[in-house]
Amino acid sequence: MQAHNYYAPTPCHPPANVPNPAGYPLKELGTLLAPAVIRHQVNTGVAVEMIASYARSISHVCVQDLFDVQRPRCAPSPVCAYDLVSADSSEGKDTASRPFIGFLRKYEEEQTELNAAAHLDRLADTAAWKAQMRALNKRLDQAATEGDDLKDLKIEHKQLIARRPDRAADPKLIVDNVTPGALENMIGAGSKSLFITSTEAGGLLNGRLGRSTDLLNNAWDATPIPKDRVDKERTFAIDYRVSGHLALQGPVLQSIFARTGHLAHGSGLTARMLLTVPHSTLGNRFLRSDQSATFDEIDALGERVTALLKEGAARRQRAEARRIIVFSEQAARYFDDTYNHIQANLGRGQILHDVAAHAGKSAEQIARIAGMLYGIEGREGPLQVDVLERARIIGYWHLDQFLAHFGSGQPGDQRVIDGQVVRQALVTIASRGLGYIARGEVKKWCTKPLTTVRFDQAMQLLIDQGYVLLHKRGRTLLVAANLWR
């Protein structure tokens, strides 16, 4: 296939009976995911793109502990995904999520019941081990007090430490209210596969976990995470996988990014998120007495998700490595074309420049989506170009969403909002006949308090757009409003 010479997702035409004003590429989800999404939309009337985000997200979860994907000339990467949905109250976030999150909750409950006896055994083993340790510590204390040789007791202590039972815990998959420390503990206990989710994620993003961007970034990359404890040796969380799906109301998202957006964007957290801003269905979701809900397609997806989750758990028990999905020769060339195409649109003056941090991750996001499709559909052999092309279309749709929400001049661009404040200050200064003044003085005229970072970003945007005249006096750079702009 030839490289694309302009940035635009390939159009998709979903079934006529499914409202899809945002043009979500439904058919690219394939013959298992797409029918489940369509069926849930027909049953509920909720925005199809929001339903699709949940269906795709849980599909990443069920394959993330079975597969890694290896892009050309790169080390294997996880197939995990972070999703962020911005939808206002009563738009059906809980309704959209219910059957798909329900697959995971049902699996979790079944595993807890199956592990009930083993859980009690582990509790008993742990209690017995602690009793042995207390007794041994008393013998060590006594021997040290009496000046006896401690050599044999130290060997016995090492042997007992090595026999420490695994911590008794219910199998955990869904994490919906977690602190950074708790997340580190869960992924630090060995090979774990977790899913962070919330349909009202404002509290989570405003809280400690939302500010722990390094931890969340490392979790997306499955990077070993060190954990230091007082008087204990350093440990590492390794061989884990974490996906996430966070949904919150639009005003809450705007409020969070108005205060801390620079942290999320600058840290790379939003670069790792597949954004969905669904169209409003308020006033259009009517009940009909002649309509009956059916769930065959949804149940079929649930059976596949459960089977893959069980397969992942069995792999861990056997201590086997995850399967690595490699690219076919044709898919590798197509991936290079896609990567280069995105890169060509990242430069200054190009359409993706203002969201370069996010767009720069798009090629990897596409590879992860392709890995998810490969796993959920039970593919064998190298990744073929047809799967990669479907993943590219889905990835580009989410990239479009991010560009529309956070690109320059869009409602979510905090620089534009702050730029209006700074420009009004410059106009006020000009109306007083003050002419050129130092940048720092302009900040004092702003009617809304701005941090230094936000003021500098807004000023640079105004300069780039030609709203500011510059004048150098010695080593000082002075500014004034360009009233002719």
- pLDDT reading at 380 higher than 90: yes
Q: What is the predicted pLDDT for the residue at 4?
A: 42
Average pLDDT over residues 398-405: 89
Residue 265 token pair: 């964007």
- pLDDT reading at 240 higher than 80: yes
- pLDDT reading at 43 higher than 90: yes
Last residue of a domain, one of 382, 406, 430: 406
- pLDDT reading at 312 higher than 90: yes
Q: What's the pTM value of the predicted model, to 2 decimals? A: 0.76
Average pLDDT over residues 67-80: 96
Q: How far apart are CA 240 and CA 175, in angstroms?
A: 14
Are 312 and 193 in contact by the 8 Å Cβ rule? The answer is yes
Q: What is the predicted pLDDT for the residue at 49?
A: 97
Average pLDDT over residues 421-433: 88
In a domain, 167, yes or no: no
Looking at the structure, do residues 41 and 80 belong to the same domain, yes or no?
yes
Looking at the structure, do residues 245 and 358 belong to the same domain, yes or no?
yes
Looking at the structure, do residues 349 and 213 belong to the same domain, yes or no?
yes
Looking at the structure, do residues 332 and 278 belong to the same domain, yes or no?
yes
Q: What is the predicted pLDDT for the residue at 383?
A: 97
Last residue of a domain, one of 363, 385, 406: 406
Average pLDDT over residues 452-465: 84
Q: Using pLDDT thresholds of 50, 70 and 90, give the confidence band for residue 261.
A: very low
Looking at the structure, do residues 332 and 387 belong to the same domain, yes or no?
yes
Average pLDDT over residues 214-229: 86
Looking at the structure, do residues 351 and 258 belong to the same domain, yes or no?
yes
Helix (H, G, I), strand (E, B) or coil at 462: helix
CATH no. for residue 62?
3.40.50
**Average pLDDT taken over every residue of the chain:** 86
Handedness of CA 430, 433, 438, 440 (dihedral sign): negative
Per DSSP bridges, beta strands 273-276 and 323-326 are unpaired
In a domain, 229, yes or no: yes
Are 383 and 374 in contact by the 8 Å Cβ rule? The answer is yes
Q: Which of 307, 194, 309, 179 is nearest to 243 (CA)?
A: 194
Q: What is the predicted pLDDT for the residue at 63?
A: 98
Q: What is the predicted pLDDT for the residue at 228?
A: 64
Average pLDDT over residues 397-422: 78
In a domain, 17, yes or no: no
Q: How far apart are CA 238 and CA 249, in angstroms?
A: 34
Average pLDDT over residues 25-49: 96
Looking at the structure, do residues 221 and 333 belong to the same domain, yes or no?
yes
Are 249 and 90 in contact by the 8 Å Cβ rule? The answer is no
- pLDDT reading at 412 higher than 60: no
Are 360 and 404 in contact by the 8 Å Cβ rule? The answer is no
The separation between CA 417 and the C-alpha centre of its own chain, rounded to angstroms, equals 26
Looking at the structure, do residues 211 and 345 belong to the same domain, yes or no?
yes
Question: Mean pLDDT: which of 57-66, 164-173, 288-297, 344-353 is highest?
Answer: 57-66
Looking at the structure, do residues 276 and 150 belong to the same domain, yes or no?
no
Max CA separation in the chain (angstroms): 92
Q: Using pLDDT thresholds of 50, 70 and 90, give the confidence band for residue 57.
A: very high
In a domain, 15, yes or no: no
Greater confidence (56 vs 414) lies with: 56
- pLDDT reading at 340 higher than 70: yes
Q: Determine the structural domain holding residue 200 and report its residue range.
A: 27-114+175-282+292-406
Q: What is the predicted pLDDT for the residue at 71?
A: 96
Looking at the structure, do residues 198 and 144 belong to the same domain, yes or no?
no
Lowest mean pLDDT among 215-219, 245-249, 411-415: 411-415
Greater confidence (258 vs 24) lies with: 24
| Gyration radius (Cα) of the chain, Å | 27
Number of compact structural domains in the chain: 3
In a domain, 226, yes or no: yes
Spell out the long-range contacts of 357-363 with Cβ–Cβ below 8 A and sequence spacing 24 or more: 357/265, 357/268, 357/270, 357/271, 358/270, 358/271, 358/273, 358/399, 358/402, 358/406, 359/399, 359/402, 359/403, 360/271, 361/271, 361/272, 362/395, 362/396, 362/399, 363/71, 363/335, 363/338, 363/339
Question: Mean pLDDT: which of 171-175, 339-343, 418-422, 456-460 is highest?
Answer: 339-343
In a domain, 168, yes or no: no
Percent above pLDDT 70 for the chain: 88
Looking at the structure, do residues 344 and 195 belong to the same domain, yes or no?
yes
| pLDDT (tens digit per residue) in 284-297 | 888 777 777 889 99
Looking at the structure, do residues 129 and 101 belong to the same domain, yes or no?
no
Q: What is the predicted pLDDT for the residue at 410?
A: 55
Neighbours of 296 (CB within 10 A): 9
Q: Which of 351, 478, 347, 354 is nearest to 406 (CA)?
A: 354
Last residue of a domain, one of 388, 406, 424: 406
Greater confidence (179 vs 264) lies with: 179
CATH no. for residue 446?
1.10.10
Q: What is the predicted pLDDT for the residue at 259?
A: 54
In a domain, 169, yes or no: no
In a domain, 2, yes or no: no
Q: How far apart are CA 432 and CA 198, in angstroms?
A: 51
